[in-house]
Structure 1
């Protein structure tokens, strides 16, 4: 997938639609083996793990596995394109777009201490929808659906993830986390876009990502 190349994005979207867990030699996890954990304690098994498949300076490819009740908090992909395809289970993906980088003098901004005002981001909730292995992929771009939150629904789940270019803090592509300050119901089938205020935060303490071996076929670049 090349940034700005709609033909390549369309081809990749079509190919990703056909991917199944068996193609990557993944065995769906059982709910009893993926029980919810108390969110306030950061110990034991991580709520999310990652299987690295491959990475170049142009893209990264891997699989995220979420335990029952786990979430990947609201985060961004600065200057990046992405494609996400569920392999088993169900996820809810809530997508946001940032409308302005800084608050400026907007009257509707929440009243916060001056030191926190610079962390506010005026954004819009574009969609909140559920995806399964039968769904097409979720696609993001630098300007559309770039911020999103991913929640496991009704049990453990896994999805394949491709980002182009990959995260690289040295090149200005670091991951930032956010929380919603204004009322926004992150549930499926919301017909209207909703403007919200987001605050940039540190990585939430209840979230961290472990690693595990990728069992699938080798990728030759």
Structure 2
């Protein structure tokens, strides 16, 4: 009995050390927004990715969902819910920690759920897929900006963007990184139940000009732009993006972090 208790204690210490190491490294290398200090070195950012690569679902209080769970409920369980109810479940957002420097959070995706196309202005985002499969599609703005004032109903202003990534991520993949000027606009669609651990730096802050904007994408052929820098045959790599006031297909709820405690 004593041996069993000790084994459980050291197991929890091991779990906690991974998340604690992640937090400690973020706190060390990521300065508060607007502090004017030098950005993290490439080595420090590589270490952050390597720490994230080691994180498993159990390290943050999650259990892996299976395809049999359909729309899955992450660590919330489904014993009291019928299959019909489960199909209506939203994406669950879990806030682990937020400060002036960074945000640590988890997104738990039911199968087929979607986070629509959105941006991360001036931000760098590290994403570790903890389990399952997730389709990600990302764009870069074309520079200098190519903008059209559309006269069509419901379009308004549209801006040209180029495809940066279009692939399915699986849980064994390495941490992916989104930069302020590369892949900064992206959308997610869950192929299976899955969960993503994110580090966003600096965090979203509307008062500092970092609010999340959602977009609708239109094929390049939807608008005529004689000055667009497009070569023949490359049209499928480009889209026109129009801002949305609020996405109609985003269904999300707040969850509670159930992993090991972090010493802040």
TM-score band, normalised by the shorter chain? 0.7 to 0.9
Q: Give the Cα–Cα distance (whole angstroms) in 2 for the partners of residues 114 and 102 of structure 1.
A: 23
Q: Give the Cα–Cα distance (whole angstroms) in 1 for the partners of residues 245 and 56 of structure 2.
A: 34
Q: 2:166 aligns with which of 96, 114, 128?
A: 128
SS of equivalent to 2:45: helix
Aligned 8 A contact 1:64 1:159 in 2: yes
SS of equivalent to 1:198: strand
Aligned 8 A contact 1:80 1:166 in 2: yes
TM-score of the superposition, structure 2-length normalised?
A: 0.69
Corresponding residue number in structure 1 for 2:5: none
**Which is strand-richer, 1 or 2?**
1
CA distance 1:25–1:124, shift in 2 (3 Å): same
Corresponding residue number in structure 2 for 1:158: 195
Higher relative contact order (CA 8 A, sep 6+): 1
Name which one, 1 or 2, has greater alpha-carbon Rg.
Answer: 2
Q: Give the Cα–Cα distance (whole angstroms) in 1 for the partners of residues 123 and 55 of structure 2.
A: 22
Q: Give the Cα–Cα distance (whole angstroms) in 1 for the partners of residues 145 and 153 of structure 2.
A: 13
Q: Give the Cα–Cα distance (whole angstroms) in 2 for the partners of residues 12 and 20 of structure 1.
A: 15
Q: CA RMSD in A?
A: 2.6
TM-score of the superposition, structure 1-length normalised?
A: 0.81
Alignment of 1:1-221 (within 5 A): 1=26, 2=30, 3=39, 5-35=41-71, 45-100=88-143, 103-104=146-147, 111-113=150-152, 116-118=155-157, 120-153=158-191, 155-182=192-219, 194-221=237-264
Aligned 8 A contact 2:220 2:238 in 1: no
Q: Give the Cα–Cα distance (whole angstroms) in 2 for the partners of residues 137 and 26 of structure 1.
A: 18
- Unaligned regions of 5+ residues in structure 2, if any? 1-25, 31-38, 73-86, 222-233
SS of equivalent to 2:159: strand
- Unaligned regions of 5+ residues in structure 1, if any? 37-43, 185-191
State how many pairs are aligned.
201
Per-residue CA deviation, residues 161-200 of structure 1 (Å, 9 max, x unaligned), is 110010000110000001110169xxxxxxx881221111
Aligned 8 A contact 2:138 2:164 in 1: yes
**Which is helix-richer, 1 or 2?**
2
Task: Tell me which stretches of 4 or more aligned residues in structure 1 moved more than 6 Å.
Answer: none
CA distance 1:112–1:9, shift in 2 (3 Å): farther
Aligned 8 A contact 2:116 2:249 in 1: no
In the TM superposition, residue 102 of structure 1 has moved relative to its aligned partner by 5.2
